[in-house]
Amino acid sequence: MALGLIHSDTLITDLVTTASTADAPILRRLSVIDRFLPLWIFAAMAIGVGLGHAYPDLGAALDRVQLAGVSVPIGVGLLWMMYPVLAKVRYGAIGAHLADTKLIGTSLVLNWVIGPLVMLGLAWLFLPDLPAYRNGLVLIGLARCIAMVLLWNALACGSAEIAVVLVALNSVFQILTYSLLGWLFLTVIPGWFGADTATMHVSMSAIAKSVGIFLGLPLVAGYLTRRILVERRGEAWYDNTFMPRFGPTALIGLLYTVVLMFAMQGNRILALPMDVARIALPLLVYFLLMFGSAFWLGRKVGFPYETTASLAFTAAGNNFELAIAVAVATFGIGSGEALAAVVGPLIEVPALVGLVYVALWAKRRW
């Protein structure tokens, strides 16, 4: 698998820089591994569900040791898939993007106003009689993406530097606002309509710890890796020799993480197929709406493709590891809220992989 993935990073770079192949269809220039990535992810999901069904105690064993509310084996996978992506970033180019008030303002509105409201509306529209699942979807909508979006953005040839800026921005806002927004969306707003309300207890320090571990650690590791190796071997060697071999291992980390996540919830997913389907539908609509509206807005505002792709993926993606951790810590691992949070990546992973292909198609016609 690793040998097959080696070509991925090189091909992604070639899509941006190689003029001689500009007329070739983008998807045909991807490796077999990249072209059929949704198939591998569905296979990883099936393997995970199968493992969970065959070994019912596997989930409890994996969840026995936790890191910031997340199983350590899954935490290792999350860090693994983040580190190579962050090692690719040219950190010297980030500063200029922070001064782009139009980009920053657009991202903040999409992520912290439109995104949570869209998820709240869809949760009530599709799950009016299932408050526990509805609460789980709201927790997902409030948890803006700080992890996998970097991988989707890289596969779609978006700007790595801009994606890191927007992810860092989301991280800060999660620390400052997640508890407040969770209380507002789960406790206050439902009461306005006479509906059942939920009590949410999650501290800013707990969110800060999750963000610090799952974004901060790989960010520091990626920065130090690039800085040290560029100083010793030069930027050309780093970009053209090291990263084409190291970068694609992020996909292995992704598949490993997917297998473990679905192994932990395999029995529940198999036992409640209709519930999973009802949770999945508003999630699917959400990802399509957020990605499509962000992509349209980026084009309307006049951003280039690379900026628009980064904006769209950060708007559509969600921090499911934070949503799962909060749902389990607040409502319990056997709750409907926890099940809804786990169904999140079941839909998000294939949906955003599909949107990578949509973005590459749009790039071709930009």
What are 121-162's pLDDT values in tens digits?
Answer: 999 999 988 888 998 999 899 988 866 787 788 888 899 888
H-helix or E-strand spanning residue 348:
helix 336-364
Into how many domains does the chain fold?
Answer: 1
* Range name among 6-15, 156-165, 212-221, 336-345 with the lowest pLDDT average: 6-15
Predicted TM-score (pTM) of this structure: 0.72
Cβ–Cβ < 8 Å for 345, 255: no
Q: What is the dihedral of CA 261, 310, 202, 122, to 10 degrees?
A: -80
CA 193, 194, 196, 198 torsion: positive or negative?
positive
More confident residue, 310 or 56: 310
User: Cα(268)–Cα(324) distance, rounded to whole angstroms?
Assistant: 15
Give CA–CA dist 66/321, Å, rounded.
12
| pLDDT tens digits along 308-341 | 999 999 999 888 767 876 777 677 766 888 888 8
CATH at 173: 1.20.1530.20
Neighbours of 64 (CB within 10 A): 10
pLDDT, the chain, mean? 80
H helices, E strands: number in the chain: 22, 2
Whether residue 288 is predicted with pLDDT greater than 90 in this model: the reply is: yes
Give 139's contacts (C-beta < 8 A, 6+ positions apart). 182, 186, 323, 326, 327, 337, 340, 341
Query: In sequence order, what are the beta bridge partners of 70?
Result: 67
> Residue 77: what pLDDT?
84
d(CA 339, CA 359): 30
> 272 near 65, Cβ under 8 Å?
no
- Other Cβ atoms closer than 10 A to 217: 16
How would residue 7 be classed by pLDDT, with cut points 50, 70 and 90?
A: very low
User: Residue 84, class by beta-carbon neighbours within 10 Å (0-12 exposed, 13-18 middle, 19+ buried)?
Assistant: buried
283/342 Cα distance (integer angstroms): 12
pLDDT at residue 233 tops 70: yes
pLDDT value of position 30: 54
Identify the pLDDT of residue 185. Answer: 86
Amino acid at 198: A
Residues 141, 318: contact at Cβ < 8 Å?
Answer: yes
Check residues 255 and 90 and name the one with the higher pLDDT. 255
Task: Count CB neighbours of 187 within 10 A.
Answer: 13
Print the domain residue range for 88: 2-18+25-364
pLDDT band at 221 (very low <50, low <70, confident <90, very high): very high
Of 73-77, 88-92, 180-184, 199-203, give the lowest mean pLDDT range. Answer: 199-203
Residue 75 pLDDT greater than 90, yes or no: no
**pLDDT score of 18:** 35
Dihedral angle, C-alpha 91, 93, 98, 103, nearest 10 °:
-120
Span 13-29, pLDDT tens digits: 433 333 334 334 445 55
Measured between alpha carbons, how far is 110 from 116 in angstroms, rounded to an integer? 9
